[in-house]
Structure 1
Amino acid sequence: MINPQNVMEILTNLFSNHLTLTSSPSNTRRDEEVAKMLFENVESILNSTSYSIENHHTLDHDADIELIDKEPNSKLNNDSDEFNDSDEFNDNDNLFNNDNLHDIDYNNEYDKENISQQQFSLEYMKQVVDFYDEKDKNTGKRKHSFHATQRRFKRVKYDIYISRFRQYIEAKGTKKQKLNQINSFVYESFENARQQLLSVHDIDLKRWGLQKAAELNDNTFVAGDSWITSFKKQHNIVSRKITKLVTKRDINNNYMINKSAEDFVADVQKILSDYHPDYILNTDQSGLQLEMFSNRTLSYQGEKLTLAAVRSINNTTHSYTVQPLISMSGSLVGPLFLCLKEESGRLGEYVKKNLFKPPNIVLTCSKSGKLTSSLVEYWRDHVFKPVIGKKKCLLLSDCWKAQGADEIYNTLTNIKRLEIPKKTTSIIQPLDVYFNRQYKVIARKLYDYVRLYNIDINLAQRNNIIMMNSLIYNQLSSKSFNRMIQYAWYKSGYLKTDPGTFNNVKQVCFKLVDNSCSVFNCNKTTFINCSWCEKSLCFVHFFVDFHIH
């Protein structure tokens, strides 16, 4: 027969001898619940005729081990040799840092998900396992416990990570890591093929993906259509029509061109600090047709032939030349050099008498409308020298023979001219890289507007050409385009620092802020926004009235 009084005294002694007791001013709800549970259990035992005690095990979070670790004298199992092999171990390490302790039935999928969410790299996992498996050279036993490994690699929370890491290393990474490796391999293969100008199709992406998956022993990767679509979207890859065929010789030449461009830019950058940005200059000739037209138009979807009307087909095949000068500081320098196309190659006295003469144009002419060596000398004397004076200047210009003659610059001792290598101007000449296209935007807008609204003005006529180019040059001389011009230098590789956000010609001049002209009592539709005064101007008040600043 069990005596309740004896049980209570023995239980009290056990509490006093084995637990640290502290008093509190009042009983908590939890205290009352535990006491009630103990009472009910003892009462059940006292009222029963027989009883037995059974131990049950359950799955729980790995954090419960922290409670066990507080009992340094516990013996959970005898298979502790794996950890009792190094002087680095302390008592706590001996008991609870072995693989057998964690042979409890973990939910494997939860562990995999938990570990993969940490985004461990394959290299990191190898470092952890190599450190954990390191052997003592003298004893041949493991040097580091799990606690030592955990102290070294803070992101390793539980020793189940070690076994998972082993699995991932053997499998050459997690599923996500393998997919990343596959994607990287496929993209590198794609880039290599396109750099050689080779054709690539969806099936080639699939082949590369499956090839890499086989190397990684990934039998789950199938390179399906959804993966192809996602891959192309991620890397901005689309199917494009081939517009030109080249040979391997052309590819090799392209490599040499790019190499020549890179070397030239690198050489220029070495001496840029010797010059003020206002006097680091680039000049280039640009041809404009006597009648310009847009290459694109809104039209009907599905039409087989899209046509555009011009006033003279002949004028679209003949051109004149403009030669601007821009600085690295982002400004247009001096007046615009304009070479007209004249059948006789010169301007007669009557023509000169009636010429429109704006202040920002230096005018000349030739039979072809293109420059000659003598006209380059004329540009040097009437445009370049007056604006440079005695300033130390660096001039970049292309390798056109007439422009590169030594005698043109021999007398300019304060000028250092560097010749941009042949066939590289499209990638390293600032004017070609960005500025010239912006110049032609305004010109095309003028021609399109005159045709669309049937304005009785012939823009191919001599004075109208002069007036138009004077207005365009004046608009681009505004501070609104300083960053745009600097960007041309940056994109060419000479400026190392991005000049920042800027607005191009369309954004500044052809964004219709007001639909009506800003001039008093003018109700005509806006043609352009002035980059200087920001007024909205109709065609008449911009072109006919010659709106210049």
Structure 2
Amino acid sequence: MQRVLDFARPGIAFTTVPHAFRRVTHPMQLKRFREYVANNRNRRQKLERVEHFVLDRFRSARNYNLPAHDLDTVDDFVAEATKHIPKYKLDCVLNSDQSSFNYEIVSNCTLSYAGEKATYLSVKCLNAISHSYTVMPIISAAGQLFSSVFICLQEPTGRLPITRAVFSASNMVTSCSTSGKLNKSLAEYWIKEVLDKVVSNRFLLVVDQWSPQADITVYENNLTKRQPCKLLVIPRRATSTKQPCDAYFFPTIESVNKKNISSCISDELDVDLRSRDAILKLQSLVHNQLSSSLFKPMISYAWSTCGYIPKQYSNFSSVIDVCFSLDANSCSNNNCEQSAFICCSY
């Protein structure tokens, strides 16, 4: 309408308007357009503006996922955390959380014919895309990724097989459950076998509200060196923005997993990526590469983006920049004719 009114300015004959705007056929339409513009558009356009306004508000609320009264709780928690963190060395300010990964990772994108109503994707095993295992790393505010990483596999019997050797590495501790998720006994096992070995002095631990790890008595009963532990529990529904592992670190692990798996599939390697040993080897490799000092700024950024510490680094390299941005297509080893797809971060 505004374009029509701008064109039909005073001094312009109405007979020229239909040549530029074919749907304008009568002078009364110009009068009606002027009334609409004076009253902030017509009814349909007003409803569209209301619709866009409500949709924007809904998206904002959904993305933040917090009612107004919870915002104050989160702000109070961050303020409380920033009071305690300066009392500890950044190496002793820790965060640990669980992340689940499906045994078979399937891309949500695939080639399809134009106009196809349903696009089907083949997978090797339906069970593998519905069952998962759990990875539980520990990171510090100084940017360190501690070894070992805790991995909980999904086993139907809840026990690892004793008739066949299971792959093991020095940078991981492996256990299992029937669901592939952690429970109270596995949380205690993690404290004894992982946390107790990486802390020797008093430390501060930031965790979510999962009950087995949010109880201070569990740590007091299972830390063999009796290290003083200050436990900070993140409020409900705030872990996506206030949990350093969730805020930046776990998406990095997922991207490395997908890159490695995609390379194995595209190169048609004879590897069963769903097998127990393949999963453990993959997670051991990922943990080894992310433990490099090159990624300390990245891990530190995960803490600063949550508001716990000031920004320590002005810029940093992502894992894609370091490990998957190769200048050469050939392997660096002599007499190796295979193409390279990952670069060592050390």
Question: Normalised by the size of structure 2, how large is the TM-score?
Answer: 0.77
Contact residue 293 and residue 447 of structure 1 kept, 8 A: no
Contact residue 294 and residue 448 of structure 1 kept, 8 A: no
- Counterpart of 1:429, as a letter, is Q
Q: Which residue does 2:294 correspond to in 1?
A: 480
Change in CA separation of 1:460 and 1:243 when aligned onto 2, cut-off 3 Å: farther
| In structure 1, C-alpha distance between the alignment counterparts of 2:64 and 2:207, rounded to whole Å | 26
Per-residue deviation, residues 405-448 of structure 1 (Å, max 9, x unmatched): 34312344511111111110000100000000001111111222
Deviation of 1:256 (Å)? 2.9
| In structure 2, C-alpha distance between the alignment counterparts of 1:252 and 1:291, rounded to whole Å | 29
Change in CA separation of 1:313 and 1:252 when aligned onto 2, cut-off 3 Å: closer
Query: Does residue 416 of the first structure (1) align with residue 227 of the second (2)?
Result: no
Provide structure 2 residue ranges, at least 5 long, that are not aligned to the other structure. 1-37, 41-51
Residue 67 of structure 2: SS of its match in structure 1? helix
Query: Does residue 522 of the first structure (1) align with residue 332 of the second (2)?
Result: no
Contact residue 338 and residue 363 of structure 1 kept, 8 A: yes
Per-residue deviation, residues 310-351 of structure 1 (Å, max 9, x unmatched): 322321111000100000000111300010111000123223
Q: Which residue does 1:425 correspond to in 2?
A: 239
Change in CA separation of 1:531 and 1:246 when aligned onto 2, cut-off 3 Å: closer
Residue 196 of structure 2: SS of its match in structure 1? helix
| In structure 2, C-alpha distance between the alignment counterparts of 1:406 and 1:250, rounded to whole Å | 32
2:285 to 440, 450, 471: 471
Following superposition of structure 1 onto structure 2, how do residues 239-258 of structure 1 map, counting pairs within 5 Å? Answer: 253-258=66-71
Per-residue deviation, residues 165-196 of structure 1 (Å, max 9, x unmatched): xxxxxxxxxxxxxxxxxxxxxxxxxxxxxxxx
Query: Does residue 264 of the first structure (1) align with residue 77 of the second (2)?
Result: yes
Paired residue total? 294
Q: Which residue does 1:394 correspond to in 2?
A: 204
Q: Which residue does 1:365 correspond to in 2?
A: 176
Per-residue deviation, residues 20-74 of structure 1 (Å, max 9, x unmatched): xxxxxxxxxxxxxxxxxxxxxxxxxxxxxxxxxxxxxxxxxxxxxxxxxxxxxxx
Query: Does residue 404 of the first structure (1) align with residue 214 of the second (2)?
Result: yes
Change in CA separation of 1:307 and 1:347 when aligned onto 2, cut-off 3 Å: same
Q: Which residue does 2:193 correspond to in 1?
A: 382
Contact residue 154 and residue 177 of structure 2 kept, 8 A: yes
Contact residue 335 and residue 362 of structure 1 kept, 8 A: yes
Change in CA separation of 1:476 and 1:525 when aligned onto 2, cut-off 3 Å: same
| In structure 1, C-alpha distance between the alignment counterparts of 2:113 and 2:163, rounded to whole Å | 52
Following superposition of structure 1 onto structure 2, how do residues 266-345 of structure 1 map, counting pairs within 5 Å? Answer: 266-296=79-109, 299=111, 304=116, 308-345=121-158
Change in CA separation of 1:501 and 1:300 when aligned onto 2, cut-off 3 Å: farther
Contact residue 139 and residue 299 of structure 2 kept, 8 A: yes
Deviation of 1:512 (Å)? 2.3
2:160 to 342, 347, 350: 347
Of 255-264 and 484-493, more deviation after overlay is shown by 255-264
Deviation of 1:293 (Å)? 2.8
Change in CA separation of 1:348 and 1:265 when aligned onto 2, cut-off 3 Å: same
- Counterpart of 1:276, as a letter, is K
Following superposition of structure 1 onto structure 2, how do residues 36-435 of structure 1 map, counting pairs within 5 Å? Answer: 253-296=66-109, 299=111, 304=116, 308-351=121-164, 354-389=165-200, 391-411=201-221, 412-435=226-249
- Counterpart of 1:438, as a letter, is T
Deviation of 1:301 (Å)? 9.6
Residue 499 of structure 1: SS of its match in structure 2? coil
| In structure 2, C-alpha distance between the alignment counterparts of 1:316 and 1:333, rounded to whole Å | 29
Contact residue 334 and residue 384 of structure 1 kept, 8 A: no
Change in CA separation of 1:303 and 1:326 when aligned onto 2, cut-off 3 Å: farther
Change in CA separation of 1:296 and 1:490 when aligned onto 2, cut-off 3 Å: farther
Which protein has greater RCO, CA pairs closer than 8 Å, 6+ apart?
2
Residue 100 of structure 2: SS of its match in structure 1? strand
Q: Greater Rg, structure 1 or structure 2?
A: 1
- Counterpart of 1:462, as a letter, is R
Deviation of 1:307 (Å)? 5.4
Following superposition of structure 1 onto structure 2, how do residues 438-449 of structure 1 map, counting pairs within 5 Å? Answer: 438-449=252-263
- Counterpart of 1:374, as a letter, is S
1:460 to 270, 274, 277: 274
Contact residue 435 and residue 485 of structure 1 kept, 8 A: yes
| In structure 2, C-alpha distance between the alignment counterparts of 1:328 and 1:456, rounded to whole Å | 40
Contact residue 209 and residue 233 of structure 2 kept, 8 A: yes
Deviation of 1:478 (Å)? 0.4
Deviation of 1:260 (Å)? 2.1
Change in CA separation of 1:350 and 1:398 when aligned onto 2, cut-off 3 Å: same
Deviation of 1:506 (Å)? 1.1
Per-residue deviation, residues 108-129 of structure 1 (Å, max 9, x unmatched): xxxxxxxxxxxxxxxxxxxxxx
Q: Which residue does 2:315 correspond to in 1?
A: 501
Contact residue 293 and residue 444 of structure 1 kept, 8 A: no
- Counterpart of 1:356, as a letter, is F
Q: Which residue does 1:114 correspond to in 2?
A: none
Residue 349 of structure 1: SS of its match in structure 2? coil
Change in CA separation of 1:250 and 1:530 when aligned onto 2, cut-off 3 Å: closer
Change in CA separation of 1:500 and 1:407 when aligned onto 2, cut-off 3 Å: same
Q: Percent identity?
A: 37
Deviation of 1:308 (Å)? 4.5
Contact residue 147 and residue 198 of structure 2 kept, 8 A: yes
| In structure 1, C-alpha distance between the alignment counterparts of 2:64 and 2:339, rounded to whole Å | 50
Question: Normalised by the size of structure 1, how large is the TM-score?
Answer: 0.50
Change in CA separation of 1:359 and 1:293 when aligned onto 2, cut-off 3 Å: same
Deviation of 1:292 (Å)? 1.3
Deviation of 1:458 (Å)? 0.7
| In structure 2, C-alpha distance between the alignment counterparts of 1:475 and 1:301, rounded to whole Å | 39
Contact residue 205 and residue 231 of structure 2 kept, 8 A: yes
